[in-house]
Amino acid sequence: MADFEGDATKLVADVDCTTDDGQKLCEQHNVEGFPTLKWGNPMALEDYNGGREYEELKAFADENLKPMCSPANIDLCDDEQKAAIEKYQAMSTEDLSAAVDEATTKLSDNEALLMEAIEKLQEKYEELMKEKEEKDKAINDEFGLGYMKAVLAAKEGAEAAKGSDEL
């Protein structure tokens, strides 16, 4: 944070989500786990998914924390971005809110599908691990692998001891 202190266009800050003010801000920006890193337009922060080492964070900040295309900085937008912003500015607050809710719901549904698939994968993983453990036990029991290893270690130890007597 000290690297960007006083910068006119970059703000690096931390928020304590356990305080009243911090909790409201964290809820507003969907912060659910800690630490969570966000970046971008303060009105529409994005998740940061890059490296967490100082050098990686500093390089990301230097490259990305600058004035960006937004309704407040329309002059920084390309024609496609301007058209999108103008389209949303022309919508009523109610229509825009409904569109945001619809997109947010679709994102939540997409996340739910992913979590469901991960849960199924976890169940399959656990099933495969149980199967592997049972097969490993059967192989160990069939061959007496534990005894074989113990006898081999004893023989190698005896041979090593025998070899040291000859010196």
Whether 4 shows a pLDDT value over 80: the answer reads no
Distance CA(129)–CA(114), nearest Å, equals: 22
- How big is the CA angle at 114 (ends 112 and 119), to the nearest 5 degrees? 95
Whether 163 shows a pLDDT value over 80: the answer reads no
pLDDT bucket at 125, cuts 50 / 70 / 90: very high
Pick 63 or 79 by higher pLDDT.
79
Q: What is the mean pLDDT of the chain?
A: 88
Per-residue pLDDT of 85-110, as tens digits, reads 999 999 999 999 999 999 999 999 99
The closest alpha carbon to 29, from 19, 18, 38, belongs to 38
Q: Which residues contact 73 (CB under 8 A, 6 or more apart)?
A: 67
Run of H or E including 47: strand 46-47
pLDDT bucket at 7, cuts 50 / 70 / 90: confident
- How big is the CA angle at 34 (ends 30 and 37), to the nearest 5 degrees? 65
Whether 35 shows a pLDDT value over 70: the answer reads yes
How many residues appear in the chain? Answer: 167
